[in-house]
Amino acid sequence: MINFYKNGNYTVCIMDDGTKIRRTDEDDFIPSFAENCDIKITDKCSMGCPFCYEGCTSNGKHGDLFKYNFINTLHPYTEVALNGNDMNHPELEKFLKFLKEKRVFPNITVQQKQFLNNYDLIKRYVEEKLIYGIGISYNHYDEDFINKVKEFPNAVLHTINGILTEEDIDKLKGKDLKVLILGYKTIRRGADYFDEHHSDFFINECYLYLNLPTIINENWFKLVSFDNLAIEQLNVKETLSDKQWEEFYMGDDGKFTFYIDMVDGKFAKNSLSMERYDIGDKTIDEMFDIIIKNN
């Protein structure tokens, strides 16, 4: 177990493998503070992924990671998901050390190529407990890449509904991998890519939808998880029993989590929301309270 803490009317247990368990004696979970924040730290990325919903480019800006007051008010054991991109943000390591001192648990997301390019750096960050989870945006199958991924118990392959193909699944299954299926976001470059490739998108989505019970129940992967957008797009709830849904669903966006953009100085319910608020000098709890009240 990593840690055990109280939040509002419930307790949270975070296990070594990243599993989170909530417990309460009441009918609903009512948090006092956000359990998790999805934080964008940079718009600079050399990958040029054609469906990038954030619109990151090689000329993008880095966020000022020590500009805003909210970082000083983060609660211990809060999980934060950072976009690593090229792993070259000049304040990244300093920021990770700051979060460690505050007993905050950072996770980082990188694209497959940048995971390989920065393998030694990421390994050091894990060994020094500067990061816990590693999300790796899957691009194509490569045996060396898969072997390196499996060196990290808390590494999860990030795949995208509509982009993930039958061939991808066939190559990845049976490798004891953790996989996260993300919903496809039709904003910024994602909108243009969808318009140009919608036929392929629907073929891939249809295969995933029709085979979801098998993918989930036949132990093709060590773990299969979904973000809320993928749950909606693939109607995941109909694949699960009521008991499974009650056990595994982690809550609507904005109830336990929210999104922070440290490049533009805004925050929102999630990265898709166009209803955004200025960070200013707000504390993390003041920001979360605004999200809760407007959710």
Examine residue 189 and state whether it is found in any structural domain, yes or no. Answer: yes
Q: How confident is the model at residue 1 (pLDDT cuts 50, 70, 90)?
A: low
Element (H, E) at 34: none
d(CA 86, CA 181): 22
Examine residue 284 and state whether it is found in any structural domain, yes or no. Answer: no
Q: How does pLDDT run across 30-60, given as a tens digit for each residue?
A: 999 999 999 999 999 999 999 999 999 999 9
∠170-175-181 over CA atoms, to 5°?
65
Q: How does pLDDT run across 83-115, given as a tens digit for each residue?
A: 999 999 999 999 999 999 999 999 999 999 999
Examine residue 104 and state whether it is found in any structural domain, yes or no. Answer: yes
Per-residue model confidence (pLDDT) at position 3: 82
Q: Which residue blocks in the chain are alpha helix, DSSP H? A: 92-101, 112-117, 119-127, 143-149, 166-172, 189-217, 228-233, 242-248, 284-293
Q: How does pLDDT run across 162-221, given as a tens digit for each residue?
A: 999 999 999 999 999 999 999 999 999 999 999 999 999 999 999 999 999 999 989 899
The rounded mean pLDDT for the chain is: 96
Q: How does pLDDT run across 236-262, given as a tens digit for each residue?
A: 999 999 999 999 999 999 999 999 999
Q: Which residue range is the domain that position 128 belongs to?
A: 42-257
Structure tokens, 264: 């533009």
Q: How does pLDDT run across 133-178, given as a tens digit for each residue?
A: 999 999 999 999 999 999 999 999 999 999 999 999 999 999 999 9
Examine residue 153 and state whether it is found in any structural domain, yes or no. Answer: yes
Q: Which of 156, 170, 84, 157 is nearest to 122 (CA)?
A: 84
Examine residue 119 and state whether it is found in any structural domain, yes or no. Answer: yes
Q: What is the pTM of this model?
A: 0.96
Examine residue 275 and state whether it is found in any structural domain, yes or no. Answer: no
Examine residue 149 and state whether it is found in any structural domain, yes or no. Answer: yes
How many CB atoms within 10 Å of residue 10? 16
Per-residue model confidence (pLDDT) at position 19: 86
Q: How many domains does the chain have?
A: 1
Decide if pLDDT at 82 tops 90.
yes
Examine residue 7 and state whether it is found in any structural domain, yes or no. Answer: no
Q: How many helices (H) and strands (E) does the chain have?
A: 9, 13
Per-residue model confidence (pLDDT) at position 52: 96
Decide if pLDDT at 126 tops 80.
yes
* Residue 61 belongs to domain with CATH number: 3.20.20
pLDDT average, residue stretch 71-77? 97
